[in-house]
C-alpha cells in the first residue's frame, strides 16, 4: 500500500524526541510526522528491507535469520548487517510496508 | 468560604509564620547570581527544554531477540550476548553543535523499558496501550506543535505519541512490538520470578499488606536494582577497551577449567570473563557506529566548521573505541560513554560520577601545560557535559519515577574531600566545574562539596557563589562524618583510613565506598579514585514512620483502607513507653518482611540479570574473575533500610507524650478520634493542596480546635528544645543500631539511610492526620532533619542544635534543607555568612545541609504561570529538579518550607 513518507523516514532526520527532530540539511527542527521534503533520502528501516514480511498492523517478521523473529516496520536498521533495500530508497514513489 | 489553617490562628492573633528572622520585601526578589552558558551549551540546553521524554523499543527488541536465540546458554554469557546485540544495534544520532556525543537511545532525552526486569506494567496496561496505538492517528501539526509546554513530561497521548506512565512518550508504531516483546518475559522477568519465590517467605502476606498501606513505597529488586552508587571510570581510562578485552582473554586462558581452591564459584570465572569480552565488544561496536555516523555527516556537511567538528568527533570516537584516552576531550568522551553504557545495562537511578574533577585532573593538567587546551575550552566541555547529563532519563513506573524520584536521575558529582595522604583534594578543575554549573544551570550533574576544614577558603567561597544561583547545588556533606561511617560499615571488608578518604556521594547523598587506583598518563602516575562498592539503592525502601505510628495507635489497622496490616497488638497503650515499644515491634516486623522478600528479588536479579559492564569497572572484579553477583566488588555491605517522615514521627511522639501522659490534657482516645476526623478539616485531596497551611475546615463547629491547638503547640523539633530533641536522639540511637540486625543476601549487615527523595509526598497522601497537628493527606516534612514547615521558630542555629543531638556517622546520611531568601546572603558578605553557617553545622557534626536560595513568592508565581519558568529549578530533597516537572504535592511542600529572611 502506498503511503506518504514522513520526515522521520529520512536519513537526514536526527531524532530529538518522539515528535520531532533536526534536519541535517537545514539544521532546523522538523516534525516527525510532517510530510518529507523533496530532498529526502530514505533511511533504513525494516519496512524498507527485502527480508521484512508485514503482518498485523505495526508488526511483521524478519526473514533474514532462520528463527524469523518478530519485528516491526519502523525499526531503524542503519546498524543492521542483514538490511537489504527492497526498493529504490530515494524519490517520491516510495512504498511503505506498514500494511 | 472555608477558613484555612493559616487564617484561623491569624484571626486569633497567633499567626503561623512561614518566614523567620525578619520579613521579606513585598516584591519578589530574583536570584543574585545569574550567568549565561556558552553559546553552544545554551543552544543544546534550549533544545533540551523543548524535548519530550522519549521512550523507544530498539534496545529491548534487539536484547530480547538475541536472548531468545541463546536458550540453554550459561546465564551470564547469555545476558552479555544479549547486551552486546542491543548495544551494537542502537541507532546513532549526532546533533549539529554537539562535541560530546552518544546517548542512551537515538532520542536526545531517550530511555527504554527493560521488560526482563519487570513487564507487569505493560501487560496490565496492554489493552489500553493497544487501543491508543491502533486508534487512527490524527497527527495535525497543531497537535504536534504543543512541544515544549510544561516541561518534557508526556502526560497525555497526542498525535502519534502514546503516553506511558504519565511521563514517557513512545511512537504509536512501536507499541505493539513493545507489548509483544514484553510478553516474551512473562514468567521470566526478575519481577515475576522474584514474586514467585518471595511468596514462600512466611511473612509475605504482611509484606503485601505493608505495600498496600504504603508503609513502604517500592520493591528495589526489579524497579531500580542498581544505583545510588559511584561509578568507576578507571579501567577504561588506564587500559582502553582493547586493553581490557586483551586482559579478559588472557584471564580466560588462565582460569579455564580451574577451580583454584574455590569449589563454589571458581569455575564461574571462565564464563564471567567470556561475558566481559562480549559486553566490551558490544560497546566498541556501539561507539564505532557513532564514529561512522560522524563521518557520514562530515561527508554530507557543507559548512566548514561543522564539517571539521564532525571529523574531530569521528576521530575521538575511533580512538576511544580502542585505546586509552590521552587528552582532556578524549577523556571527557570516554567517561561519558562509559556512564551511558552502565545506564543502558540496567535500570539505574543515581549513578554518580563521583569526584570526577579529580579523575580528569591529569588530562587537564597535561593539556594545559602543553598548550593543547585553554580554561575557556574546558569550561565549554564541562557545560556540554552538564547538558548531556541532564538529558539522562530513567524509565520506570509512575510510582517510582514520579512518586519517589520526581523524574530525577541523581548523577551527583562530588567535589573537595581529601587526598590519599590526607591533604585537601580540591583543585583548579573543580573550580571550573563549579563555574560551569553557575553558567549552565541544569539539574544534572548535581554537585556536592565534601566539606573538610582543610579545604581552601577560595574554593569554599566559589561553592557558596554557586549556591546563590538558586539551583540548590552544591549540597554540603561532612567529609569527616562520611569517613567515620565508611570505616564503621566497611571495616570488616578491609576498609582503611587511607581508602576511606576516597569516599564520594552516590545518588542524592548516599555515602559510598570508593578506592584509589594508579593512572598512568605520559609517564606520570596519578592516584585517581572511583566507586568500589555495590549499589546502595538496594534493600528496604522507604518506610513511612508516621504511617507505622498510625498503625500503632489503631491496633494494626490502616485507617485509609480499613485493612489490617500488622497483627493486632491488643494493648491499651497506657504509657508513652508502651507506645514506643509497640512502635519498635511493628517496625521490626516491617524491616524483617521487607528484607527477606527483597533479598529474594535481588537474588533472582543476580542469577538472571547481573551487571556485567558495571562489574568490570569496579575493583576487584577483573582481578578476581567474579562479578557483582559473586561478591566481586571490593565492598559489598551496601544494602540499607530507608526511612521517611522522621520529624513528623518525632513531633508526634512529643505531642503524645506531652498532651496525653505528662499534662493529661487529652486522652489517647480523644486524640485518636480527632486524628480520625482530621481535626475537623477537609482532606488534602478535597482542598487540592498538600500544604498544611492551606487546608480548609469542614465546618465551623470547632469540635477539635482545642486538641488541635494543643497538638500544634506541643514541643517541636528544630527549636533546641530537649523535650523533642531527646525523642529524636532516642529514635536515632535505636534505629541506626537495629538495622545491623538484618542481613542482605550477600550476608552483610544493613544500615540506616535517611533521605526522603520525594516519598514524603505520596506517603503523606496515604497517612491520616498525625498527633503533631499535621492534617490528613498533607506532605510530611522533607528530608530527615528539616524542620516541619513553620515549626522552627528560633533560627537556624537552634535548628542545628536540635539536629546534632545524635551521632550522624551511625547512619549513611542525614539530610537537612534550608530555604533562604536571596537578600539574606547578598554580596560577598552574604557568601561568607553562608559559609559560616555551613561550617557551624558541619563542625557540630551535621552530615548534610543544602540551600534553596529563592523567594517563595517566585515559586507561587511559577505554580500559577509555569510557562514562564521552564528553567526554574528548586532543591527538593537530595536533588535539584525543574519546577515544572515536579508534582503539585512537592511544589506545595517546597513553598511551605520556612523561609529565612536573614542570618
- Interface touch A58/B144, C-beta < 8 Å: no
Cα distance between the two ends of chain A: 7
- Give me the pLDDT at residue B401, please: 64
Taking the C-alpha atoms of residue B78 and residue B71, their distance in angstroms, rounded to an integer, is 8
Place of cell 544495534: B89
Taking alpha carbons only, the member of B558, B567, B564 closest to residue B589 is: B567
- Interface touch A16/B180, C-beta < 8 Å: no
Collect all residues of chain A within an 8 Å Cβ-Cβ radius of residue B140.
Answer: none
Collect all residues of chain A within an 8 Å Cβ-Cβ radius of residue B106.
Answer: 15, 76
Integer angstrom CA distances of residue B20 from B24, B47, B793, B816, B821: 9, 39, 7, 17, 10
pLDDT score of A92 more than 60: no
- Give me the pLDDT at residue B699, please: 86
Bridge partners of A20?
Answer: A31
State the pLDDT confidence band at B17, using cuts at 50, 70 and 90: low
Eight-class DSSP state of B98: -
| Mean pLDDT, rounded, for B356-367 | 98
- The nearest CA of chain A is from the CA of B666 a distance in Å of 59
DSSP string, B755-780: --TTTHHHHHHTS---TTSPPTTPPP
- The nearest CA of chain A is from the CA of B602 a distance in Å of 31
Bridge partners of B520?
Answer: B525
Using CB atoms, pick whichever of B96, B174, B289 lies closest to residue A72: B174
pLDDT score of B899 more than 90: no
- Interface touch A17/B177, C-beta < 8 Å: no
Collect all residues of chain B within an 8 Å Cβ-Cβ radius of residue A17.
Answer: 51-54, 107-110, 147, 152, 169
- Give me the pLDDT at residue A4, please: 79
- Interface touch B47/A16, C-beta < 8 Å: yes
pLDDT score of B786 more than 50: yes
Query: Phi first, then psi: what are they for A24, rounded to 5°?
Result: -65, -20
- The nearest CA of chain B is from the CA of A65 a distance in Å of 10
Using CB atoms, pick whichever of B52, B65, B181 lies closest to residue A18: B52
Domains of chain A: 1-43 (2.20.70.100), 44-85 (2.20.70.100)
The more confident residue out of B404 and B726 is B726
CA B118 to chain centre: 20
Contact (Cβ atoms closer than 8 angstroms) between residue B274 and residue B255: no
Eight-class DSSP state of B811: S
| Mean pLDDT, rounded, for B399-428 | 86
The more confident residue out of B900 and B616 is B616
State the pLDDT confidence band at B901, using cuts at 50, 70 and 90: confident
**pLDDT one-digit tens code per residue, B520-556:** 999 999 999 999 999 999 999 899 999 999 999 999 9
Contact (Cβ atoms closer than 8 angstroms) between residue B648 and residue B712: no
**Chain B, nearest residue to A21 by Cα:** B107
Taking the C-alpha atoms of residue B326 and residue B307, their distance in angstroms, rounded to an integer, is 23
**pLDDT one-digit tens code per residue, B693-720:** 788 999 888 999 999 999 999 999 999 9
Taking the C-alpha atoms of residue B16 and residue B87, their distance in angstroms, rounded to an integer, is 56
- Give me the pLDDT at residue A3, please: 63
- Give me the pLDDT at residue B139, please: 40
- Give me the pLDDT at residue B653, please: 98
Prior bond of B3 cis (ω within 30°): no
Contact (Cβ atoms closer than 8 angstroms) between residue B656 and residue B774: no
- Give me the pLDDT at residue B498, please: 98
Collect all residues of chain B within an 8 Å Cβ-Cβ radius of residue A29.
Answer: 50
| Mean pLDDT, rounded, for B50-67 | 97
Taking the C-alpha atoms of residue B594 and residue B766, their distance in angstroms, rounded to an integer, is 19
- Least confident range of B137-151, B187-201, B510-524: B137-151
State the pLDDT confidence band at A88, using cuts at 50, 70 and 90: low
The SS3 call for residue B121 is: helix
- Give me the pLDDT at residue A96, please: 38
- Give me the pLDDT at residue B146, please: 33
**Chain B, nearest residue to A81 by Cα:** B89
State the pLDDT confidence band at B834, using cuts at 50, 70 and 90: very high
Collect all residues of chain A within an 8 Å Cβ-Cβ radius of residue B112.
Answer: none
- Interface touch B88/A79, C-beta < 8 Å: yes
All cell numbers assigned to B26 = 513585598
Using CB atoms, pick whichever of B55, B61, B96 lies closest to residue A75: B61
pLDDT score of B722 more than 80: yes
Collect all residues of chain A within an 8 Å Cβ-Cβ radius of residue B293.
Answer: 78
Collect all residues of chain B within an 8 Å Cβ-Cβ radius of residue A51.
Answer: none
pLDDT score of B201 more than 50: yes
Would you name the residues of B annotated as active-site residues? 508, 510
Taking the C-alpha atoms of residue B597 and residue B208, their distance in angstroms, rounded to an integer, is 10
State the pLDDT confidence band at B2, using cuts at 50, 70 and 90: low
pLDDT score of B215 more than 70: yes
Taking the C-alpha atoms of residue B204 and residue B642, their distance in angstroms, rounded to an integer, is 20
State the pLDDT confidence band at B15, using cuts at 50, 70 and 90: low
- Interface touch B147/A20, C-beta < 8 Å: yes
Contact (Cβ atoms closer than 8 angstroms) between residue B312 and residue B371: no
Integer angstrom CA distances of residue B48 from B34, B53, B741: 19, 10, 46
Taking the C-alpha atoms of residue B491 and residue B316, their distance in angstroms, rounded to an integer, is 41
**pLDDT one-digit tens code per residue, B481-491:** 999 999 999 99
Contacts with B433 (C-beta within 8 Å, 6 or more apart), sequence order: B356, B357, B382, B413, B415, B447
- Interface touch A22/B57, C-beta < 8 Å: no
DSSP H stretches of helix in B71-174:
75-88, 120-124, 126-134, 141-144
| Mean pLDDT, rounded, for B768-796 | 94
Using CB atoms, pick whichever of B141, B180, B301 lies closest to residue A31: B141
Cα distance between the two ends of chain B: 38
Collect all residues of chain A within an 8 Å Cβ-Cβ radius of residue B179.
Answer: none
**pLDDT one-digit tens code per residue, B441-469:** 999 999 999 999 999 999 999 999 999 99
- Interface touch A33/B133, C-beta < 8 Å: no
DSSP string, B1-58: -PPBTTHHHHHTT-PPPSEESS---SS----S---PPPHHHHHHHHHHHTPPPEE-SH
pLDDT score of B300 more than 90: yes
- The nearest CA of chain A is from the CA of B314 a distance in Å of 16
Q: Are strands B54-55 and B168-171 parallel, antiparallel or unpaired?
A: parallel
Integer angstrom CA distances of residue B242 from B238, B249, B608: 11, 11, 27
Place of cell 517566585: B858
- Interface touch A79/B91, C-beta < 8 Å: yes
Contacts with B322 (C-beta within 8 Å, 6 or more apart), sequence order: B240, B241, B242, B284
Contact (Cβ atoms closer than 8 angstroms) between residue B121 and residue B186: no
Collect all residues of chain A within an 8 Å Cβ-Cβ radius of residue B108.
Answer: 15-17
Mutate to test the interface with A, among B53, B144, B149, B294 (most CBs of A within 10 A): B144
- The nearest CA of chain B is from the CA of A14 a distance in Å of 6
**pLDDT one-digit tens code per residue, B801-813:** 999 999 999 999 9
- Alpha carbons within 13 angstroms on the beta-carbon side of residue B227 total 25
- Interface touch B61/A71, C-beta < 8 Å: yes
Taking the C-alpha atoms of residue B604 and residue A49, their distance in angstroms, rounded to an integer, is 39
Q: How many residues does chain B have?
A: 903
Size of interface A-B (CB pairs under 8 A): 116
- Interface touch A72/B133, C-beta < 8 Å: no
Using CB atoms, pick whichever of A20, A70, A76 lies closest to residue B177: A70
Using CB atoms, pick whichever of B50, B91, B169 lies closest to residue A18: B169
Contacts with B51 (C-beta within 8 Å, 6 or more apart), sequence order: A16, A17, B107, B108, B109, B147, B152, B391
Integer angstrom CA distances of residue A27 from A12, B291, B303, B380: 10, 20, 11, 21
Taking alpha carbons only, the member of A14, A72, A96 closest to residue B173 is: A72
- The nearest CA of chain B is from the CA of A74 a distance in Å of 7
Share of chain B above pLDDT 70, in %: 95
- Quote ipTM for the complex: 0.92
Place of cell 516491617: B590
- Interface touch B54/A33, C-beta < 8 Å: no
- Interface touch A72/B57, C-beta < 8 Å: yes
Taking the C-alpha atoms of residue B463 and residue B431, their distance in angstroms, rounded to an integer, is 8
- The nearest CA of chain A is from the CA of B326 a distance in Å of 29
pLDDT score of A93 more than 80: no
Contact (Cβ atoms closer than 8 angstroms) between residue B889 and residue B779: yes
Amino acid at each position: 500500500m502506498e503511503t506518504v513518507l514522513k520526515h522521520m523516514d529520512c536519513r537526514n532526520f536526527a531524532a530529538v524526541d518522539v515528535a520531532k527532530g533536526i534536519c541535517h540539511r537545514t539544521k532546523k527542527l522538523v516534525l516527525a510526522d510532517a510530510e518529507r521534503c523533496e530532498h529526502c533520502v530514505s533511511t533504513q528501516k525494516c519496512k524498507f528491507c527485502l527480508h521484512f514480511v508485514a503482518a498485523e498492523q505495526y508488526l511483521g517478521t524478519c526473514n533474514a535469520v532462520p528463527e524469523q523473529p518478530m519485528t516491526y516496520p519502523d525499526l531503524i536498521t542503519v546498524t543492521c548487517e542483514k538490511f537489504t533495500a527492497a526498493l529504490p530508497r530515494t524519490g517520491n514513489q516510495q512504498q511503505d510496508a506498514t500494511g | 468560604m472555608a477558613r484555612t489553617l493559616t487564617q484561623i490562628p491569624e484571626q486569633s492573633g497567633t499567626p503561623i509564620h512561614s518566614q523567620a528572622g525578619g520579613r521579606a520585601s513585598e516584591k519578589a526578589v530574583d536570584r543574585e547570581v545569574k550567568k549565561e552558558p556558552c553559546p553552544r551549551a545554551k543552544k543544546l540546553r534550549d533544545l533540551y527544554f523543548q524535548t519530550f521524554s522519549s521512550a523507544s523499543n530498539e534496545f529491548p527488541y534487539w536484547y530480547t531477540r538475541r536472548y531468545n536465540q541463546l536458550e540453554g546458554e550459561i546465564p551470564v554469557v547469555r545476558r552479555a550476548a544479549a547486551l552486546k546485540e542491543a548495544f551494537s544495534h542502537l541507532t546513532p544520532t549526532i546533533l549539529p553543535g554537539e562535541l560530546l556525543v552518544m546517548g542512551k537511545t537515538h532520542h536526545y532525552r531517550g530511555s527504554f523499558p527493560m521488560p526482563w526486569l519487570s513487564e507487569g506494567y505493560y501487560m496490565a496496561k496492554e489493552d489500553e496501550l493497544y487501543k491508543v496505538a491502533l486508534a487512527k492517528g490524527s497527527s495535525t501539526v497543531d497537535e504536534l506543535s504543543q512541544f515544549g509546554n510544561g516541561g518534557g513530561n508526556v502526560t497525555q497521548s497526542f498525535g502519534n505519541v502514546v503516553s506511558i506512565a504519565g511521563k514517557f512518550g513512545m511512537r504509536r508504531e512501536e507499541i505493539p512490538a513493545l507489548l509483544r516483546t514484553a510478553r516474551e518475559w512473562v514468567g521470566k522477568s526478575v519481577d515475576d520470578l522474584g514474586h514467585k519465590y518471595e511468596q514462600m517467605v512466611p511473612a509475605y502476606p504482611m509484606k503485601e499488606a505493608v505495600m498496600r498501606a504504603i508503609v513502604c513505597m517500592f520493591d528495589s529488586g526489579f524497579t531500580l536494582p542498581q544505583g545510588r552508587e559511584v561509578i568507576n571510570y578507571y579501567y577504561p581510562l588506564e587500559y582502553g577497551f582493547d586493553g581490557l578485552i586483551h586482559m579478559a582473554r588472557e584471564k580466560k586462558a588462565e582460569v579455564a577449567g580451574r577451580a583454584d581452591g574455590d569449589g563454589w564459584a571458581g569455575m564461574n570465572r571462565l564464563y564471567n570473563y567470556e561475558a566481559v569480552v562480549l559486553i566490551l565488544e558490544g560497546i566498541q561496536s556501539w561507539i564505532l557506529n557513532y564514529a561512522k555516523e560522524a563521518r557520514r555527516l562530515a561527508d554530507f556537511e557543507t559548512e566548514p566548521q561543522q564539517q571539521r567538528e564532525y571529523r574531530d568527533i569521528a576521530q575521538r570516537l575511533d580512538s576511544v573505541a580502542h585505546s586509552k584516552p590521552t587528552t582532556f576531550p578524549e577523556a571527557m568522551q570516554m567517561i561519558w560513554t562509559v556512564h551511558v553504557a552502565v545506564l543502558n545495562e540496567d535500570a539505574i537511578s543515581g549513578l554518580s560520577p563521583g569526584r570526577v574533577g579529580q579523575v580528569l585532573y591529569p588530562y587537564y593538567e597535561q593539556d594545559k601545560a602543553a598548550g593543547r587546551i585553554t580554561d575557556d575550552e574546558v569550561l565549554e566541555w564541562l557545560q556540554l557535559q552538564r547538558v548531556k547529563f541532564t538529558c539522562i532519563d530513567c524509565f520506570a513506573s509512575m510510582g517510582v519515577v514520579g512518586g519517589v524520584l520526581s523524574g530525577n536521575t541523581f548523577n551527583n558529582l562530588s567535589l573537595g574531600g581529601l587526598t590519599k595522604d590526607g591533604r585537601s583534594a580540591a583543585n583548579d578543575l573543580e573550580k571550573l566545574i563549579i563555574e560551569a554549573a553557575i553558567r549552565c544551570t541544569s539539574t544534572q550533574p548535581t554537585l556536592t562539596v565534601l566539606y573538610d576544614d582543610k579545604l581552601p577558603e577560595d574554593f569554599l567561597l566559589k561553592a557558596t557563589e554557586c549556591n546563590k544561583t538558586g539551583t540548590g547545588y552544591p549540597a554540603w556533606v561532612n567529609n569527616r562524618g562520611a569517613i567515620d561511617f565508611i570505616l564503621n560499615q566497611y571495616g570488616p571488608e578491609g576498609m582503611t583510613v587511607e581508602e576511606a578518604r576516597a569516599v564520594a556521594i552516590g545518588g542524592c547523598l548516599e555515602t559510598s565506598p570508593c578506592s584509589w587506583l594508579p593512572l598512568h598518563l605520559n609517564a606520570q602516575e596519578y592516584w585517581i579514585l572511583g566507586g568500589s562498592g555495590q549499589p546502595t539503592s538496594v534493600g528496604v525502601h522507604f518506610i513511612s514512620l508516621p504511617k507505622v505510628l498510625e498503625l500503632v495507635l489503631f491496633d494494626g489497622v490502616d485507617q485509609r483502607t480499613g485493612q489490617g496490616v500488622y497483627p493486632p497488638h491488643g494493648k491499651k497503650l497506657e504509657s508513652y513507653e508502651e507506645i514506643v515499644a509497640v512502635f519498635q515491634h511493628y517496625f521490626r516486623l516491617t524491616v524483617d518482611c521487607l528484607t527477606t522478600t527483597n533479598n529474594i528479588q535481588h537474588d533472582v536479579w543476580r542469577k538472571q540479570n547481573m551487571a556485567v559492564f558495571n562489574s568490570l569497572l569496579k575493583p576487584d572484579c577483573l582481578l578476581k574473575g567474579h562479578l557483582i553477583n559473586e561478591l566481586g566488588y571490593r565492598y559489598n555491605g551496601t544494602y540499607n533500610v530507608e526511612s521517611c517522615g522522621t520529624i513528623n514521627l518525632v513531633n508526634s511522639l512529643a505531642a503524645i507524650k506531652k498532651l496525653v501522659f505528662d499534662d493529661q490534657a487529652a486522652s489517647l482516645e480523644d486524640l485518636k478520634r480527632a486524628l480520625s476526623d482530621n481535626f475537623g478539616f477537609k482532606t488534602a485531596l478535597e482542598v487540592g493542596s498538600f500544604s498544611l497551611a492551606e487546608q480548609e475546615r469542614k465546618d465551623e463547629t470547632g469540635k477539635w480546635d482545642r486538641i488541635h491547638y494543643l497538638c500544634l503547640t506541643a514541643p517541636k523539633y528544630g527549636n533546641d528544645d530537649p523535650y523533642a530533641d531527646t525523642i529524636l536522639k532516642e529514635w536515632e540511637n535505636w534505629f541506626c543500631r537495629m538495622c545491623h540486625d538484618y542481613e542482605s543476601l550477600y550476608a552483610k549487615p544493613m544500615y540506616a539511610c535517611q533521605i526522603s527523595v520525594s516519598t514524603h509526598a505520596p506517603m503523606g497522601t496515604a497517612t491520616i492526620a498525625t498527633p503533631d497537628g499535621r492534617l490528613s493527606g498533607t506532605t510530611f516534612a522533607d528530608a530527615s532533619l528539616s524542620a516541619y514547615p513553620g515549626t522552627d521558630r528560633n533560627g537556624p542555629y537552634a535548628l542545628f542544635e536540635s539536629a546534632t543531638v545524635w551521632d550522624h556517622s551511625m547512619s549513611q546520611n542525614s539530610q537537612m534543607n534550608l530555604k533562604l531568601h536571596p537578600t539574606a546572603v547578598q554580596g560577598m558578605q552574604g557568601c561568607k555568612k553562608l559559609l559560616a553557617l555551613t561550617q557551624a553545622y558541619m563542625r557540630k557534626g551535621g552530615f548534610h545541609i543544602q540551600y534553596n536560595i529563592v523567594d517563595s513568592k517566585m515559586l507561587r508565581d511559577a505554580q500559577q504561570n509555569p510557562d514562564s519558568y521552564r528553567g526554574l529549578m528548586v532543591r527538593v530533597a537530595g536533588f535539584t529538579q525543574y519546577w515544572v516537572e515536579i508534582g503539585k504535592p512537592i511544589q506545595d511542600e517546597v513553598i511551605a518550607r520556612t523561609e529565612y529572611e536573614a542570618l
